[in-house]
Amino acid sequence: MTPVSIVLALMFVGLWFVVLSTWELRNWRAVGLTVVGTGAILLAGLLPWPLRGLTQAGAWGATLWVLLVRTELVVAMPAAEYRFVSAYIASLGRLGRLKGRALEVDPTTLVAEYEAAIRSIERLEAPADWTQLQADTVRELERRLAMMKLLHAPPPADTLRVAEAQWREVMQRFRRMREAKSGFWRGLGAS
């Protein structure tokens, strides 16, 4: 295998990995763009040497740029919903990182940061279909915040089990909604 073949293989693997590894890009638009990008890279291989490498790199770079930087161009859900879902996921990630640092952070700081993360979810502009999920998420997080403020020790095991079950239900509903709104064929035939 030549170095050029190895580089080409890595280009294709990288391109398809990006598409298949993120929920935003697992749809017909992103796959179509990736197929066109893959075809352009292969066709550029027919050009003479100096032009071949530049054209292949350009096709790969342009395709990745759209997929990674201008994701909103190929995402299946409407722009307002995509902005909400992305911000919602980022806020949940913030809470997850905070949970990971819980033992390292002063309890007062932990509560303040947790409350700020809840407020960030509360301030999101949720499209109509997402308002109930947003309210339920805030409600569940507020319950946890109240436990953090009132209890200076971990809550009883049965209280934790109930809270975890309620949180799992909210997250399962979020995943179902996200999957329904960003399905592979969603938006096909719509302008």
Q: Assign 191 a pLDDT band (cuts: 50, 70, 90).
A: very low
Mean pLDDT over all residues of the chain?
A: 89
Q: Assign 153 a pLDDT band (cuts: 50, 70, 90).
A: low
* CA 184/CA 31 separation, integer angstroms: 9
Whole-model pTM: value is 0.79
Please check the confidence at residue 44 and state whether its pLDDT lies above 60: yes
Per-residue pLDDT of 47-98, as tens digits, reads: 998 899 899 999 999 999 999 999 989 998 888 999 999 999 999 999 989 8
| Percent of the chain whose predicted confidence (pLDDT) is above 90 | 53
* CA 80/CA 98 separation, integer angstroms: 27
* CA 116/CA 102 separation, integer angstroms: 15
Scanning 3-130, the segments in alpha helix (DSSP H) are 3-21, 28-44, 49-68, 79-100, 107-123
* CA 100/CA 79 separation, integer angstroms: 31
Per-residue pLDDT of 97-132, as tens digits, reads: 988 887 787 888 888 999 999 999 999 999 999 999
Please check the confidence at residue 189 and state whether its pLDDT lies above 70: no
Q: What is the pLDDT of residue 151?
A: 67
CB neighbours (10 Å) of residue 13? 10
| Residue 154 contacts residue 160 (beta carbons within 8 Å) | yes
Q: What is the pLDDT of residue 152?
A: 64
Per-residue pLDDT of 4-29, as tens digits, reads: 789 888 889 988 998 999 888 989 99
Q: Assign 34 a pLDDT band (cuts: 50, 70, 90).
A: very high
